[in-house]
Amino acid sequence: MTLIRLARCSTCNAYKAKSTALPKMLTSFDGEAEAPVAFNLTVINIVTDSIVRQSKLYLIAEVISYLTFTQLTPFINDSNWSLASIMTAADFPLGNSRIVPGRYPPQGTDPYADAIRERRGARGITPLDANLLHVPPIAGGFNTLLGAVRNKGNLPGDVREAIILRVAAINHAAFEWIHHEIVGRNEGLTSGQLYVIRDIQTPLPAMQHVLTPLQAVAVLFTDHSTRDIRVPMEVVEQFKKELRSLTEDPNKIDDLYVEAAMVAASYNMVSRFLLSTDVAGISDKEVPWPVDRKEHRIALPSFPPDSTSSHVIHATTIISSPDAPWLVFSNSLLTDLSMWNYIVPHFLSNYNILLHSQRGHGQSTLPEHSSQRPVTIPLLATDIANLLEALSIPTPVHAVIGVSQGGATALAFGAMYASKTKSIVVCDTAAKTPQGNKEAWEERIRLVQEDGMRKLADITVPRWFPPGSICNPTHNSAVGQKRADWVGKMIQNTDIAGFSAGARALSDYDLIGEDVNILRSEIGHVLLVAGELDGGGKVGKGLQVLAIRWNAERGSATAVVYEEIIGAGHLPMIDSAEAFCEVVGTWIRSI
């Protein structure tokens, strides 16, 4: 299987004009058919029609073939197109099941197979059908059932495909996802919405305004139905409430709910059969993401000017388009790169994204066998600069965004590497260690060494999310509690040595001193952000003072801006993700 994503870089009309070129250069094999068949132009045009409704446009073509980059280059290099990503046959080698051989009865020899061909149209018998045809009556019943579920119900197509794709993601059914991502896009699902559906690690619900309310509850319903089998009554009631946006007739609402339950149930059946019979030989492949998302483990030097690699940084790149500007995110102490998961889908339509876990956090390591301090705030900034170079990310990036320890890192990056970014967004931090904090950090290190990370998590989560935050227990928010528990697990999973090194970096740094001074930086644009509730308001007040002092130093340069996120604690991108995206998104678009 070669899955091709081409990112559009000219007018909408270029899609329709160029769509006819694809069948001329690409052929596909229909299952195990002996002869190549023409590429399905109908699929191309359907995808095109859905894509022109989105702000960032993509063409996805599935090709059952072993195409090389060289073969694609003449088309990709056309001035109307640019290459977004290619997953080659090495990634998804569509082949034969390693468990049972597929059966492809010749036309006219099996009425069940002929009925399947009629429903499938130009695609003919798929590898899934071929495995089912070991028992033709079951294959026929399956064909009838799935044909009805797909084509004869009344659920909106985007909701139906969101359910199917969530099942595929949870059950690790790559074959199911690959075939239905195309259908989902045709039904109007955007890359950001597909990203939420694919992300099975971050607690639901997603940030508001990425999914529609009906999509959101449909995905939540599917999660319960697939993972837990039993769906909580409150989720059922919420689903029926959102279905009222389609009809006020209570009987039709019940009908739609039953249809949704059958979609989830039937495609759970499909995914289990796909995996248990190894359809197309890809049952052990990871479900692809709807954008070009890659994980990296980059060995970096620790102590400039020494260039010897001494530690590894775990990073993820998410590329929406080759020409999109880049955002770089830097996590807080006691978290990892996943802390940004709620807001990533919001920024996908306009930006490429670099996430990374700072030294000693997540899957990133600390320098070994060194007599020097393994973590300082300037060293964390240098890690970002080295990552940009190692990953060949063009600079200046659009923004470096960090919170807490990551916010201090963003400040240091702005001071040390101003030419490598157009802007910095600095959240819930300070330009230097506040007076008296060194002793507090040493006390936390002692606590962890004696009682472990769970004890620190129990203390830290309510401090990060004080009363007034949806993530505080006093708020009685099921959504907030899920997010608080998620953050608590991140804290518990943090390596003790990584925490201790980071804590000591925060206990003794100064970014307005002699060695590194952000006030003297030529950075073009600066946004300072604080959760209203962080530190009882002290963190925000400190950043406001910094903004005033900094603007006095900047003279005629663009003013440093301060924004406060109402009702947010120390991590506003988690407890107030919608407000955070509104503030930060609006600001970075203005640059």
% of the chain residues with pLDDT over 90: 75
Which of 428, 437, 434, 436 lies closest to 409, judged by CA?
A: 428
In this predicted model, which residue has the larger pLDDT, 370 or 49?
A: 370
For 64-90, what is each residue's pLDDT tens digit? Answer: 232 333 333 444 343 333 333 434 434
Mean pLDDT computed over 529-540: 97
- Give strand pairing partners of 37: 28
CA angle 144, 149, 150 (to 5 degrees): 100
**Which pairing describes strands 27-28 and 37-38: parallel, antiparallel, or unpaired?**
antiparallel
Gap between the Cα atoms of 118 and 140, Å rounded: 12
> Quick one: pLDDT band at residue 94, thresholds 50, 70, 90?
low
Q: State the Cα–Cα distance between residues 175 and 274, nearest whole angstrom.
A: 7
Do 298 and 369 contact (CB within 8 A), yes or no? no
CA distance 490 to 504: 19
In whole angstroms, give the CA distance from residue 335 to residue 456: 13
Q: What is the pLDDT of residue 354?
A: 98
- Give the 3-state secondary structure of residue 392: coil
Burial class (CB within 10 angstroms; exposed 0-12, middle 13-18, buried 19+) of 297? exposed
pLDDT at 435: 83
Say how far apart CA 184 and CA 188 lie, in whole Å.
Answer: 6
A 10 A CB-CB count for 138 gives: 13
What is the separation of C-alpha 254 from the centre of its chain, rounded to a whole number of angstroms? 33
pLDDT value at position 66?
29
Ranking 33-37, 112-116, 450-454, 523-527 by mean pLDDT, the lowest is 33-37
What's the CA dihedral at 454, 456, 462, 465 to 10 degrees?
A: -100
- Torsion over CA of 513, 514, 516 and 517, rounded to 10 degrees? 60
Q: Does the pLDDT value for residue 429 go beyond 50?
A: yes
Closest alpha carbon to 226 in 254, 259, 265, 194:
265
Is the pLDDT reported for residue 504 higher than 80? yes
What is the structure's pLDDT at 242?
98
Cα distances (Å, whole numbers) of residue 568 to 168, 251, 330, 340:
34, 42, 19, 15
The CA distances from residue 164 to 17, 211, 244, in Å, are: 32, 15, 21
In angstroms, rounded to a whole number, what is the distance separating the alpha carbons of residues 213 and 202? 18
CA angle 522, 528, 530 (to 5 degrees): 165
Token reading at 386: 């080295």
> Tens digit of pLDDT for each residue in 365-424?
999 866 678 899 999 999 999 999 999 999 999 999 999 999 999 999 999 999 999 999
pLDDT digits (tens, 9 = 90+) for 457-497: 999 999 999 999 999 999 989 999 999 999 999 999 999 99
Has residue 1 got a pLDDT over 70?
no
List pLDDT tens digits, range 260-280.
999 999 999 999 999 999 999
Q: How many CB atoms lie within 10 A of CB 556?
A: 5
Sign for the CA dihedral angle at 52, 57, 63, 68 comes to positive
The phi and psi torsions of 97 (rounded to 5 degrees) equal: -60, 140
pLDDT of residue 138: 96
Tokens of 275: 């995996």
Note the pLDDT of residue 555.
Answer: 85
28 within 8 A of 36, measured Cβ to Cβ: yes
The mean pLDDT value for 162-176 works out to 97
As a whole number, the mean pLDDT across the chain is 85
Largest separation between any pair of C-alpha atoms in the chain: 85
Q: How confident is the model at residue 99 (pLDDT cuts 50, 70, 90)?
A: very high
- pLDDT, mean of residues 300-317: 91
pTM, rounded to two decimals = 0.85
Helix (H, G, I), strand (E, B) or coil at 46: helix
Helix (H, G, I), strand (E, B) or coil at 320: coil
The set of long-range contacts for 478-483, using a CB threshold of 8 Å and a minimum separation of 24, is 479/205, 480/575, 482/203, 482/204, 483/203, 483/342, 483/574, 483/575
| Whether residue 438 has pLDDT greater than 70 | yes
Whole-number Å distance between alpha carbons of 183 and 165: 10
Distance, CA of 203 to CA of 577 (rounded, Å): 13
Quote the CA–CA distance of 550 and 560 in Å, as a whole number: 7
Determine contact, residues 469/567, Cβ cutoff 8 Å.
Answer: yes
**What pLDDT score was predicted for residue 302?**
84
Name the β-bridge partners of 315. 296, 356
326 C-beta neighbours (distance < 10 Å), count:
22
Confidence of residue 93 (pLDDT cuts 50, 70, 90): low
Both tokens assigned to 164: 């199917």
CA 133 – CA 117 distance, rounded (Å): 12
Helix then strand then coil, % of the chain, to nearest 5: 50, 15, 35
Q: What is the mean pLDDT of residues 125-136?
A: 94
Residue 8 DSSP SS3:
strand
Read off the pLDDT of residues 224-266 as tens digits, 9 standing for 90 and up: 999 999 999 999 999 999 999 999 999 999 999 999 999 999 9
pLDDT, residue 62, reads 35
CB 139 within 8 A of CB 116: yes
